[in-house]
């Protein structure tokens, strides 16, 4: 196994339990992206920002008083109580299962052989679970960028932050930084809108909330360079479509890379193993996540890039590889996999967008609207809330749901189950929900 994230651990432990001789290699601390430098530490920081935001919203005549301030250093220390034990705990679990652990990078030297920490290791099967890495931008001064994992380790919050890219990483970190006291937060997105891939109507509510927070969002801006003068960085950008036109300059104390991630594959020497890639650089895999050119090699999680780049997908992939290796294989089923952006309001999505549904030929019934007057946004004083739910006209089968809403990260699971299991609108209407809860509002969002 190459990589000690969730997919690598799942497959390693399952194979070891089946009596196989198993080794796992990772040049970074054991545990992978999610628990060490991704979703878990991010959520610890974001939760503090959400809590401070809620108090501020309810202060001044709404039952609370005061203006809570985030102590960044103290918050980082608290975050490390979650991340620091992970590598040792993961290695202990693998050791107890009899898995050989290598604290080293691995690269192929043949179809079934790898160089690992000065040793040559031969394997009947190899799993690539190396995760993803920030894509190279190919701009002058790229070495001055702060990567997302580095942002999560900053001991002090910079006064001026510029985020390159308008995806979920930039959006979440921008909300966090603004609420934690950064003086100026700017986001530069190359396309015409941020959060590409999410339902545009719902994104508009998040964009409005982001602007109200004081974050400056600039779309159709292509970054050309990052200049450094002492401790000050300057991002040089131009309007998309106006190459060599007037360039805009954005001063910053830190410039954060949020412009996308790609499978972390380049250091593996895939050619030595005869592992082929597709034209877009992704691995050429079967539906069972097996290399189409080298049957000894499998891939999972972000390295495979078959499903959405999410932690639950790594688990799905890991289970699929387990079954392919140990039993009758079944391909992973990504249907109904929800995605969440931890802003305020949270943005959550599952299934098809309206454009995707219509392009697929569905006769679509849509229920959507401003939800700021619903009970939960109103009592939290969240002025920006929106929902859109899609169903197939006639059958009532739920096709997708898109929320900018309090606790959307929880509510979306109701819709995710509906999409995955082919439930109908009437099935959700017949449900009995705890009340008043955010999930009980599902009944008012249905076509």
Tens digit of pLDDT for each residue in 35-85?
A: 999 999 999 999 999 999 999 988 877 888 888 999 999 999 999 999 999
Average model confidence (pLDDT) across the chain: 94
Tokens describing residue 313: 């997908």
Q: Please report, in angstroms and rounded to a whole number, the separation of the first and last CA atoms in the chain.
A: 46
pLDDT at 246: 76
Using CA atoms, how far residue 90 sits from 32, 93, 267, 318, in Å, is 10, 5, 24, 16
Using CA atoms, how far residue 363 sits from 351, 354, 359, 366, 401, in Å, is 15, 10, 10, 10, 16
pLDDT at 244: 67
pLDDT at 334: 92
- For residues 55 and 66, the answer to whether their CB atoms sit within 8 Å is yes
Sign (positive or negative) of CA dihedral 236, 241, 244, 246? negative
pLDDT at 196: 93
CB count within 10 Å of CB 443 equals 13
Average pLDDT over residues 270-293: 95
Tens of pLDDT, residues 226-265 = 999 999 999 999 987 776 667 899 999 999 999 989 999 9
Let me know how long the chain is.
447
Least confident interval from 116-130, 178-192, 233-247, 375-389: 233-247
pLDDT of 174 > 90? The answer is yes
Name the 3-class secondary structure at 279.
coil
Name the 3-class secondary structure at 437.
coil
Q: Where are the extended beta strands (E) located within 179-246? A: 184-188, 216-218, 221-229, 232-239
Average pLDDT over residues 125-129: 97
Q: Full-prediction pTM beyond 0.85?
A: yes
CB under 8 Å to 405, separation ≥6 — which residues? 345, 346, 348, 371, 374, 376, 377, 385, 386, 387, 411, 438, 441
Q: How is residue 147 annotated by DSSP?
A: P
- For residues 273 and 108, the answer to whether their CB atoms sit within 8 Å is yes
Sign (positive or negative) of CA dihedral 72, 407, 219, 197? positive
CB under 8 Å to 422, separation ≥6 — which residues? 397
pLDDT at 245: 66
CB count within 10 Å of CB 64 equals 13
Tens of pLDDT, residues 91-114 = 999 999 999 999 999 999 999 999
Sign (positive or negative) of CA dihedral 183, 187, 193, 194? negative
- For residues 39 and 82, the answer to whether their CB atoms sit within 8 Å is no
pLDDT at 329: 77
Domains and CATH numbers, the chain: 6-134+262-326 (3.50.50.60), 142-259 (3.50.50.60), 339-444 (3.30.390.30)
pLDDT of 383 > 70? The answer is yes
- For residues 125 and 23, the answer to whether their CB atoms sit within 8 Å is no
Least confident interval from 219-223, 238-242, 379-383: 238-242
Rounded (10°) angle between helices 6-17 and 311-326:
30
Tokens describing residue 63: 């039952």
Is the bond preceding 161 in cis, omega lying within 30 degrees of 0? no
């Amino acid at each position: 196994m190459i990589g000690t994230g969730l997919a690598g651990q799942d497959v390693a432990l399952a194979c070891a339990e089946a009596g196989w001789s198993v080794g796992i290699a990772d040049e970074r601390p054991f545990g992978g992206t999610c628990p060490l430098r991704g979703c878990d530490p991010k959520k610890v920081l974001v939760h503090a920002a959400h809590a401070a935001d809620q108090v501020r919203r309810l202060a001044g005549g709404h039952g609370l008083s005061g203006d809570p301030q985030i102590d960044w250093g103290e918050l980082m220390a608290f975050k490390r109580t979650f991340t620091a034990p992970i590598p040792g705990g993961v290695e202990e679990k693998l050791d107890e299962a009899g898995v050989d652990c290598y604290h080293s990078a691995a690269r192929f030297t043949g179809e079934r052989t790898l160089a690992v920490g000065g040793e040559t290791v031969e394997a009947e099967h190899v799993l690539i679970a190396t995760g993803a890495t920030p894509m190279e931008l190919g701009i002058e001064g790229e070495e001055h960028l702060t990567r997302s994992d580095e942002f999560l380790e900053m001991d002090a919050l910079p006064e001026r932050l510029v985020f390159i890219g308008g995806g979920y990483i930039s959006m979440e970190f921008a909300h966090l930084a603004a609420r934690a006291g950064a003086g100026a937060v700017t986001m530069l997105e190359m396309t015409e809108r941020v959060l590409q891939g999410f339902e545009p109507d719902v994104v508009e509510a998040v964009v409005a909330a982001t602007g109200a927070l004081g974050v400056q969002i600039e779309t159709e801006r292509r970054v050309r360079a990052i200049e450094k003068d002492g401790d000050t960085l300057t991002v040089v950008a131009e309007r998309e479509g106006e190459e060599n036109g007037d360039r805009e300059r954005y001063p910053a104390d830190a410039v954060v890379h949020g412009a996308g991630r790609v499978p972390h594959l380049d250091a593996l020497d895939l050619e030595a193993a005869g592992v082929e890639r597709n034209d877009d650089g992704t691995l050429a895999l079967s539906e069972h996540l097996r290399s189409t050119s080298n049957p000894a090699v499998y891939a999972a999680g972000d390295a495979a890039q078959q499903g959405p780049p999410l932690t639950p997908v790594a688990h799905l992939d890991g289970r699929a590889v387990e079954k392919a290796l140990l039993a009758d294989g079944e391909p992973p089923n990504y249907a109904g996999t929800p995605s969440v952006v931890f802003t305020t309001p949270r943005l959550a999505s599952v299934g098809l967008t309206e454009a995707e549904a219509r392009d697929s030929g569905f006769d679509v019934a849509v229920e959507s609207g401003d939800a700021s007057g619903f009970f939960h946004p109103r009592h939290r004083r969240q002025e920006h809330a929106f929902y859109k739910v899609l169903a197939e006209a006639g059958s009532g089968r739920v096709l997708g749901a898109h929320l900018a809403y309090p606790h959307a990260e929880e509510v979306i699971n109701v819709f995710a189950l509906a999409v995955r299991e082919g439930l109908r609108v009437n099935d959700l209407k017949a449900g009995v929900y705890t009340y008043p809860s955010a999930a009980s509002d599902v009944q008012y969002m249905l076509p």
